[in-house]
Every structure is written in structure tokens, then in C-alpha cells.
Amino acid sequence: DGGITQSPKYLFRKEGQNVTLSCEQNLNHDAMYWYRQDPGQGLRLIYYSQIVNDFQKGDIAEGYSVSREKKESFPLTVTSAQKNPTAFYLCASSPGTGQGEQYFGPGTRLTVT
Amino acid sequence: AQSVTQPDIHITVSEGASLELRCNYSYGATPYLFWYVQSPGQGLQLLLKYFSGDTLVQGIKGFEAEFKRSQSSFNLRKPSVHWSDAAEYFCAVLYNNNDMRFGAGTRLTVKP
């Protein structure tokens, strides 16, 4: 089965701790994306990567970091600098940027208290 | 900045009734247009897409959408809504081959 997996489904952290969200795809897609979703605000782009070892900031990158060491994997770290980290995080991939639709993972709900 | 507007935050329709969800986008060179659906706590699933050609596109689950360049709109329609269609619907526009913008979403409630 081809697709995108995100783990865990639910994540709880204390304020001040960094946390890493996992995203893996076996679709052989070049491009990968991280979005944040808050009620009533749609999806906002955090980071995206067009190829391995390359990534660009999206609209709301502050307080987040990413890496792209493998084509299949694009983990997102939510750092303690992110002022309001509690949200639903969605990972997506596409064959390339600008090459059609994005395919989404099931999401990770992060709660920071 | 480019933007996508879904004017209706929440729509309630009766099962079996027709449905139209509105989407408008800020002007740009012919964009790529999408509609996604999201069930609570889940990822987004693609319903349909428009890249070029026939401006009326068919999607999965009996949905269709019509691209109207003059109105910068891409409204989603379904002739007869089923209870399982209750979900949140997002319009998305891909600008300049590199900038995907999403609307804020429309939550659909289906009355029995």
C-alpha cells in the first residue's frame, strides 16, 4: 500500500520541550510539505522540501525546524521557541512542486501544556 | 499574496438535498484548482482537480465542480447529499507551480 504515514496520532508534551513529528512516504515523491491546521484557519504551510537535503520556509516557519536526509522522510521538530504549538499537524507529498495535487497523511495532534 | 476564500463557514443541508460549496480565489495566471474533504481528526482526501480543458470536472463520491474564470470561482456541487458526506471541505489553489493556498474550509452538516 502506497501512502503517507505520520506518527504518533496524538502527542503530549510539556511546555519548553522540543518534540519531533514523524512523516514517511513510500510514493516515491520528490516534494514533501508540513502544514499546521487550527480551527477556522485552514492549512498554513510551515516548511516544504523539493529534493533531499533541501528545504524552504513556508508562511509560519518560526519555532519549527525540519530535515530531509532521505527521500522518504521529512520529520518536523517543534521547538520550545514556538509560542503556540498546540495544533493539528499534517504532512503531505507530491511528485514535485507544481506537479499536481498533494497527498496527505492522517495527521498528528500535538498538545502542549 | 494570493488567497482563497470560502465564504461559508458552516452549511447544513437535508439528506437528499443538493449542495453547493463556494470557492473564490484571487486572480493569477490560470491556477490549478482542487477540492479536498476532511473527516474529523483525519488527513485530507482529494475529491477533484482542475488543471485545464473542460471547466466542469467530475470527482469521486458523486461530486463535481465548475471553474469560472470570469468569476474566479471553483464551486463544488453534489445533486443529492448523503449522511456520509458530513465533513469539512477545503478548496485549494496552486499558484505559480509552487504556492498552494487553502481556503479556511466549510463544515457540512447533513440533517436526516
Cβ distance A113 to A15 under 8 Å?
Answer: yes
pLDDT at A67: 97
Query: Which residues in chain A have their CB less than 8 angstroms from residue B51's CB?
Result: 100
Selected for mutation to probe chain A from B36, B44, B45 (highest A CB count within 10 Å) is: B44
**What is the average pLDDT value for chain B, to the nearest integer?**
93
Q: Do A105 and B36 touch (CB under 8 A)?
A: no
Tell me the shortest Cα–Cα distance from A17 to chain B, in angstroms.
24
* pLDDT digits 0-9 by tens, B38-57: 998 899 999 999 988 889 99
Residue A65 to residue A56: CA distance in whole angstroms: 10
* pLDDT digits 0-9 by tens, A15-54: 999 999 999 999 999 999 999 999 878 899 999 999 999 9
> Would you list the DSSP string of chain A?
---EEEE-SEEEE-TT--EEEEEEE-S--SEEEEEEE-TTS-EEEEEEESSTT--EE-TT-TTEEE--SBTTB--EEE-TT-S---EEEEEEEESSTTSS--EE---EEEEE-
Cβ distance A33 to A43 under 8 Å?
Answer: no
Which residue has 480543458 as its cell numbers?
B53
Tell me the shortest Cα–Cα distance from B76 to chain A, in angstroms.
17
Query: Which residues in chain A have their CB less than 8 angstroms from residue B34's CB?
Result: 101
B2 pLDDT tier (thresholds 50, 70, 90): confident
**Looking at the predicted structure, is the pLDDT value of residue B15 above 80?**
yes
Q: Do A100 and B49 touch (CB under 8 A)?
A: yes
The answer to whether B95 faces chain A, any CB pair under 8 Å, is no
The answer to whether A71 faces chain B, any CB pair under 8 Å, is no
Chain A and chain B share a number of CB contacts under 8 A equal to 47
* pLDDT digits 0-9 by tens, A88-113: 999 999 987 666 789 999 999 999 99
pLDDT at B52: 85
Tell me the shortest Cα–Cα distance from A97 to chain B, in angstroms.
5
Higher pLDDT, A97 or B2: B2
